[in-house]
Amino acid sequence: MSELLIMLAVFVLSIIIGYLLISKVPNMLHTPLMSMTNAISAVTILGALLVFAVKPDLTETLLGAAAIALAAFNVVGGFTITERMLRMFKSRKE
Amino acid sequence: MNSLTDLLIDLIIILIFLSGFSRFRTPGAARTGNLSAAFALALALVVVMARHRIMQPHVVIIALMIGSVLGWLVAMRVNMIQIPAMVAFQHGAGGIAAFLVSFVELTRNVLPGFGVEKISGLLGLTIGALTFSGSMIASGKLANILKGPPVRLPGHSLITLGLIVLIIFTAYFTGSPQAPLLNVLLVVLVAESVMLGLVFSIRIGGADMPVLISFLNATAGLAAAFCGVIIHNRLLIACGATVAASGSILTHVMCRAMNRNLLQVFIGFRVKDAADPVRVFFGEGEVTDAVTVTEEEPAPEPVRHADPLAEAIEACRNAENIVFIPGYGMAFAQAQFDVVAFAAMLEESGKNVRFAIHPVAGRMPGHMDVLLAEANLSFDKRVDIDDINPDFENTDLVIVVGACDVVNPAAITMKNTPISGMPILMAHLARRILICNLDEKPGYSGIDNPLYRNEKAILLLGDARETFRKLTEAYSSSLN
């Protein structure tokens, strides 16, 4: 039960803190922000790894491998594009 | 996994994530923010591998390699115009991963009844699957592979509602698990959710795409969070919930910038009697010259200049303060480089040049800023709508490039149009208005733009790239 409570607390606190931090992001950075959160949402890659924590049967191996590949695509692609975009922003002083 | 050390490690990783978000204030700091989020995710991966013995490591490593290399290759090749389609596609990939993981976990630890884990697993499965199909449609539309305008099936809302009822019904039957029946039920559930995602997103199109992509951002995060509950992983819950919050904020910002609410966007519901548009967003007296015109009133003909190019150059030469208003049309014509080059030339000849960015300019939140950054416009030249609007009266020349609805004065002078009450850039208050659009057709809203017939307006119609090359040439020869 205590584990459930901790999970609930983590869920609620993350939403609140996320809301407070993200509502201050300027409009200018909204595309990089979405691109980065997009990469973060592929944190399901951890779940996909855990599929292999117990000996998986063939179906589970296939599904798990697909999940890992897609999530990795999402993570690496998301962070890379965000970096590429942010590098383009220049101020006159630079 | 329950030990205090584990909890502490998780909390530290979550803090690194959140510090990444808190860096998103300026572009320079955001880079370190992005890097620290990537670092946190890598750390989380290491922690999971350390805590659990991973079976079949060769399969895991090969899958990781394939995904990462493809992700990196695509990310390096995609250009800034394609970013929205790419981001939508990645939302979809995240959605698949979420529903696959939920599926495996649900079939593996067969739990009778409906505990928290079971419900979370079902939610992860459903939301993940609909995020996947919805994102594929969104990506297709944003990449111009699918047709842009919304598709409305007969009885569309009924079909949507029916699918939701069907999903709840199917989910209810998973309560008494008897594999392999359970597997079948879960596959049916995925199929129904995929259908729901399709039906839901084909209805949304055109100007509402930024709302759809932000919303899918939120659902992708939510699916990850639910996925985290079923596997008891706090990192997944925290990251998923933060992303859900972020996507929700962006959805809200987009809706507000278009004067739409979510219901209007998602089920095509429209407020019949919109509030007095002028009073909603601007205090009384601020827009003293606002007149209510009806569509029946004969529209004055646009002023046709014998030589609009010469007129435009004359206007540029006489102007001190110049404000550019770029819209999606500029991006579509790939004219951002030519536009920024012309702006630089104006600036070199001593003008004060700025770019006014409407929140919905482009096809996803903040898209225009990325496009202009790509074209080497320094970001201190850009101004937000709230900062520039009071300044338009002191602006000598506004140059509109491929923007229509966001400068349409009808939004504040006419009632009962789709854009009534939408915050616009008040270009019509400037002393002169140079409009470099492709044609005089209305924007996505379908509402005629009276700005084209304004006596202060100069129309330079045609391909924006072509137009700006001509302008640059003519202006530079006029300087000598």
pLDDT tens digit string along A76-93? 999 999 999 999 998 875
Across the range B36-43, mean pLDDT stands at: 95
Determine, yes or no, domain membership for B283: no
d(CA B425, CA B360): 11
What type of residue sits at position B352? N
Looking at per-residue pLDDT, the higher value among B94 and B261 belongs to: B94
In whole angstroms, what is the distance from residue B91 CA to residue B131 CA?
7
Distances (CA, A) of B281 to B276, B287, B366, B413: 10, 10, 22, 12
* A27 and B CB contact within 8 Å: yes
B368 lies in the same domain as B309: yes
Domain endpoint, select from B70, B100, B126? B70
CA–CA min distance B263, chain A (Å):
22
Domain final position from B70, B100, B127: B70
Exposed/middle/buried for B178, CB within 10 Å: 0-12, 13-18, 19+?
A: exposed
Residue B60 domain boundaries: 1-70
Beta bridge mates, B434: B399, B458
Residues B170-197 pLDDT 10s: 998 887 766 678 888 999 999 999 999 9
- Pair B349, B407 in one domain: yes
Rounded average pLDDT over B72-93? 94
Query: pLDDT-derived band of residue B278, with 50, 70 and 90 as boundaries?
Result: very low
What distance in Å separates the CA atoms of residue B359 and residue B210, rounded to the nearest whole number? Answer: 10
**What tokens does B215 get?**
């919303």
Is the separation of the CB atoms in A43 and A67 below 8 Å?
no
**Distance, C-alpha B386 to centroid of its chain:** 20
Q: Determine the Cα–Cα distance for residues A29 and B31; give it in Å rounded to an integer.
A: 11
The residue-averaged pLDDT of B393-416 equals: 89
Q: What is the rounded average pLDDT for all residues in chain B?
A: 87
**Residue B8: pLDDT over 80:** yes
Is residue B275 one of the residues assigned to a domain?
no
CA distances from B135 to B131, B141, B212 (A): 6, 10, 9
**pLDDT averaged over chain A?**
92
- As a whole number of angstroms, the distance between CA B172 and CA B195 comes to 19
Which of B19, B32, B120, B243 to mutate: most A Cβ within 10 Å?
Answer: B243
Mark whether B57 and B100 lie in a shared domain.
no
- The count of structural domains within chain B is 3
Of the given ranges (A54-58, B142-146, B190-194, B213-217), which has the lowest mean pLDDT? B142-146
**β-sheet bridge partners, residue B400:** B325, B435
Higher pLDDT pick, B404 / B299: B404
Establish whether this prediction's ipTM goes over 0.90: yes
Question: Which chain B residue has its CA at the smallest distance from A55's CA?
Answer: B55
Indicate if B165 and B246 belong to the same structural domain: yes
> In this structure, is residue B285 part of a structural domain?
no
| In a shared domain, residues B144 and B211 | yes
The residue from B267, B282, B314 where one domain ends is B267
When CB atoms are compared, the residue of B18, B223, B384 closest to A21 is B18
Which residue numbers of B are catalytic?
Answer: 405
Same domain, B43 and B136: no
Nearest Cβ partner for B44 among A13, A46, A56: A46
Q: Taking the domains of chain A in order of start, what are their residue ranges? A: 26-88
**Are residues B355 and B217 part of one domain?**
no
Q: What is the pLDDT of residues B246-261, one digit of tens each?
A: 999 999 999 888 877 7
CB pair distance less than 8 Å for A42 and B246? no
Chain A, window 46-75: residues with a beta carbon less than 8 angstroms from a chain B beta carbon: 46-56, 60-61, 63-75
Give the SS3 label for residue B180: coil
Establish whether the linkage from the previous residue to B180 is cis, with ω within 30° of 0: yes
pLDDT in tens, B152-163: 888 888 899 999
* Per-residue pLDDT tens over the stretch A4-47: 888 899 999 999 999 999 999 999 999 999 999 999 999 999 99
B136 and B239 in one domain? yes
Return phi, psi of residue B140, to 5°.
-60, -40
Q: Please give the residue of chain A at the shortest CA–CA distance from B116.
A: A4
Confidence of residue B295 (pLDDT cuts 50, 70, 90): very low
Same domain as B95, residue B17: no
Do B177 and B233 reside in the same domain of the chain? yes
Which amino acid, B452? Answer: Y
Q: Do A50 and B233 touch (CB under 8 A)?
A: yes
Residues of A in contact with B142 (CB under 8 A): none
Going by C-alpha positions, the residue among B258, B281, B282 that lies closest to residue B270 is: B258
Candidates B83, B213, B42, B233; CA nearest to A40 is B42
B149 and B7 belong to one structural domain: no
Query: Are residues B328 and B233 located together in one domain of the fold?
Result: no
Domain annotation covers residue B349: yes
Which of B 81-120 lie inside 8 A of A, CB atoms? 83, 86-87, 90-91, 93-94, 96-98, 100-101, 103-105, 108, 116
Residue B401's domain is classified under what CATH number?
A: 3.40.50.1220
